Structure 1
């Protein structure tokens, strides 16, 4: 992670209206925003949801891409339900969902599936990454901070259980008015995964909901 309050400037490339529809029937109107000049060169997208009044602190979710959870509905993680929850909550409040192309906490899809195979042998999600010679979490939120600055969101409420997201945004000069916890989306398949996040990287999850 780089810590630099002098972020490189980014600019808006395209803004386009996209109606959203989820498998449970929930619908939301959104505007997708793409950017020029993001630090990592990846094709991150900002999803503008709800109405943001002048002077209002927007609710913001940094959501890392998860093909297995977001698209295929995998029960091994909580990514799909968190995405669905975030779209509804931000639509009600007004704000931004930043969809970040950082699959598998930044290690990529194939490495993530390799790590899943090791988890099936008894390793937790972080130990599996380490066994592959990979970092526990390779995500860098410099581009997310650039996106927020470009959108005029220098002060936000952050919808996240992950303290590292808050730390990195603060390092890049984004002021956090409040950190708002997401729900606990536990299944019989992801309890160990969620427990590891709570105990090893101090995500603000209610452990009572995982037993």
Structure 2
């Protein structure tokens, strides 16, 4: 300090003060820069931590998404396999259904044929029954005729038919009745024709008579008819 205040070659006090101020300013700038550097360093660490945190979060999400995609792929593979097996089963079932339809149609056709045959057999049985009845009836007639040939009987044919074939007897009776009615109608028609011819002749005669009469005779006849009508 003595050198500063009393020596000739000593730097003046102002210069020293300036240097001290400059040094102080430099020291302050250093501390300020150091603080800024520390802040930047701390902020970079925070950013790195945040970046690492976000990276971990995104990696976890990506891992979860990849795991979900893998599960979906496995499900898709399982569903595709199941669809293939079900498609094969469906195709087989459709083929079986078609075969069953064909079998059903053939069975229905067979049933129709059997029903037709059964109806035809019913008709045949009925016809066979009728033929058997006819055979028995004819056998009875033959037997009766043979008996009559062996031991002739004075029986009227109507009585014989009544005993052997009443239906034929009824038909013969109906035929005879119709013939009698027809003859009676023909007789009436002939009688009406004769009567009509007589009336026609009478009408012609009267017309000629009226044509030959005079007017006075006609008036006289009209007067007589009026008087008779009164």
Shared fold, TM over 0.5: no
Q: Name the structure where helix makes up a greater proportion of residues.
A: 2
Normalised by the length of structure 2, the TM-score is: 0.14
Larger Rg: 2
Larger RCO, structure (CA 8 Å, separation 6 or more): 1
Normalised by the length of structure 1, the TM-score is: 0.15
